[in-house]
Structure 1
């Protein structure tokens, strides 16, 4: 009886070891395929997000990654420098009130072939609860703060947070060779953001957390030419949390337990206002009748 139990325990241990080995081999193969993956995109539109929102109305992180896979260049380009990366140096929320600025500083490491890239494309996938004003961004573009900028997704500025969808801001920044060669040089982008009306809560604040942006190095877009594709090198696809530290905006929101008091005060104020208007109208009519007595 004891020998049978011993053999069954050994068999279970052997099966567990075999499964773990298979998982290790498959994960190692996936990692190798990921390293050998060609991170080049061929974009026909002016913006990377343009064709994505042509067929979709909302933003999903997994759907966006699947969309990027469909934009891969058919002609495979050798990836000569595996250490071409961008360093997200600093990321912070500045300002006060419901109008803030998302400050992002990026440093580019040297490239072997720099001439084909002249744009750094930053895709900010904004969380629920905040939005960017397209008209404000157009004014900044006219003042040459950005080379190009556009907002995709939910651009209805009047909707509250619980009725709105996520929006995306795509920023194009012009770069040159000195941005690579200067070791201390950084590219800083300041994106103005606005808070939507937040849902009721218990703490009086709604916590909005920003993930890392998606970064691309792209060749310039050639306008007025059909079938002209520009190449974009994927530097990083941001996650839901940033490695440089959580960037959090605590937006004031109504407290759910205060709704009864607010309703009562609003009702009393409305009744008093209506009564005041009624009294004022009666007094004014009496004054007018005294000034103009009826002629017999």
Structure 2
């Protein structure tokens, strides 16, 4: 187990089409992260969606390694008719930080029910599950669950 894991999620851009940047920094307990792969399992709330066709295009251009695992997914449905979806993303090691991984995921806002002028709609993006595999001579597999802080 790791002594410290720092997870930061940032929403980039404005409007209906945004990018979710996921950054993970590990403490000093893992000596050689070069042999490790980090898989991020993210649950996308009903107020957002990820376009599986866009993900396929980004994979082809080697921008991100992500795939939808939800079935019967409708990108046209408004938030009140949609379900939470799941996405798997392989995070890449950050070239500027030796103990860091990052992943990029384009997300889009769904249409919501109309409401009064002064009312705001909030969408909560929870922390993802992190799964790590390191090949360091012996098999080291670890399931990491990052809790809200």
**TM-score range relative to shorter protein:** 0.7 to 0.9
Deviations 1:107-154 (A, max 9, x none): 122414757x531001111111100011111222222223x3211225
Whether the 8 Å CA contact 1:149–1:170 is kept in 2: the answer is yes
Structure with the larger strand share:
2
Contact map agreement 2:90 2:103 (CA 8 A) in 1: no
- TM norm structure 1: 0.42
Aligned to 1:235: 144
**Residues 114, 102 of structure 1: alpha-carbon distance in 2 compared, 3 angstrom cutoff:** closer
- 1:49-60 superposed matches below 5 A: none
User: Which structure is higher in helix share?
Assistant: 1
What is the CA–CA distance in structure 2 between the aligned matches of 1:206 and 1:134, rounded to whole Å?
25
> Are the equivalent residues in 2 in contact too, given 1:86–1:235 (CA < 8 A)?
no
* Other-structure match for 2:23: 105
Q: Which residue of structure 1 lines up, in the alignment, with residue 69 of structure 2?
A: 152
Q: 1:231 to 1:174 in 2, by over 3 A?
A: farther
Two-structure CA RMSD over aligned residues (Å):
2.9
Report matched runs for 1:3-152 at 5 Å: 82-88=1-7, 90-110=8-28, 111-112=30-31, 117-146=35-64, 148-152=65-69
Per-residue deviation at 1:106? 1.2
Distance in 2 separating the partners of 1:83 and 1:165: 33
TM-score by length of 2: 0.78
Indicate the residue corresponding to 1:206 in structure 2: 121
Does the CA-based 8 Å contact 1:84-1:235 persist in structure 2? no
Residue of structure 2 equivalent to 1:61: none
Match of 2:102 in 1: 188
Number of the residue aligned with 1:216: 131
Distance 1:232 1:150 in 2: 22
Q: What secondary structure does 2:75 align onto?
A: coil
Q: Match of 1:168? A: 86
Alignment partners' CA distance in 1, 2:11 and 2:96: 24
Q: Which runs of 5+ in 2 are unaligned?
A: none
Structure 1: distance between partners of 2:79 and 2:66: 23
- How many residue pairs match? The answer is 143
3-state secondary structure, aligned to 1:209:
coil
Deviation at 1:163, TM superposition (A): 0.7
Q: Is the 8 A contact 1:124 1:214 kept in 2?
A: yes
